[in-house]
Structure 1
Amino acid sequence: MSGEMKVKKNDIEQALSKLKSSTSTLQTSLPQSIQGNNVLDLVTELNNLNRAIEEMAQSYKQLLIQNEEATRQSVQFIVDTDKKLSIYAK
C-alpha cells in the first residue's frame, strides 16, 4: 500500500452536483389534513404522523445540503493542501 492518496476532484464534483440537484427536488410536503368531515381518532393520528414525517424529511433535506457543502469544502482543502505540499517537495 502506498502512502499516496489520489483525489479525483472532477468525479467528486459531479457526484456532489448530482446530490445537490436531487436534494433540491426532494419533495418533503405531505397533506396537512386528510380529515374533511371525518372525525375519527385515526384521521387525527394520521394528520399528526404526516406532520412529524414532513418535519423529519425537512431536517433530512437540510442535513443533505449541509453535508454536500462540507464535502465540497473538505475536497477543496485537500486539493489546496496538496498544492502547498507539492511546492515544498520540489
Structure 2
Amino acid sequence: MTDTHTATLARIQQHITDAAAAITAELDSVEDPVARQALAAEAQALLPELQRAVKAHRSATVAELKQGRTLAQVAEMIGGTTSLVDQILKVGAKK
C-alpha cells in the first residue's frame, strides 16, 4: 500500500464518518421518537445506493484496466483472481 493509497483511504473514511455524524445529528433533531425512528429507517434504506455507486465505480475502473489486457493480467494487477475480475466486470455490465 502506498502513502497516497493510505491517505486517500483515510480521507474516504473521514467522509463516511462525517456523513454518519451529520445524519445522526439530523435524526437527533427530531423530537418525536416515532418520527425519528421512521426517518432512521428511511435513511438506512438509502445506504444501498452508496454501495451501488462505489461498486459501479470499481467496475468502471476495472473495465478501464481491462482495455488491451487479459483477465489474468488485470487479476495480477489488482491482486485478485480472474474470477474476481470477471465478477467485477459483470457488475458494471448490469447497469
TM-score, length basis structure 2: 0.39
The structure with higher relative contact order (CA 8 Å, sep 6+) is 1
TM-score, length basis structure 1: 0.40
More helix by share: 2
